Amino acid sequence: MIILIITLLTYQPPVYEGYVYGSGAEMFGWIIACFPFLPIPFYSGFMLTTTKGTPMQRLKISCTPTSDWRPQGEELNKKYQTWTKYRAPCTLRLPKIGFERR
């Protein structure tokens, strides 16, 4: 986060061998740079609108993994099982009113 803030504060338009790019080329570069991150807010919005409950309950449910979630790979899964055996997986308590994702 700090790197992003510093980058935005010290941003200068791109220049190559004395040539200053126009605002259209600069905007195109920003679109290409931001494109991989676009699915995150779209999927978050989808999950928050399709999950049942109050807004806070929907946020909690959306941030909680499903009960059948496991790491991929046998060795990593064994380590995960050992680690969670002696530790509570989550301190977040959801209401017991049967919320499910649609």
Burial (CB count <10 Å: 0-12, 13-18, 19+), residue 57: middle
Q: Encode pLDDT of 5-50 as tens digits.
A: 898 899 888 899 999 999 999 999 989 988 999 999 999 999 999 9
Structure token digits, residue 49: 């609108």
Asked if residue 89 has pLDDT above 90, the reply is no
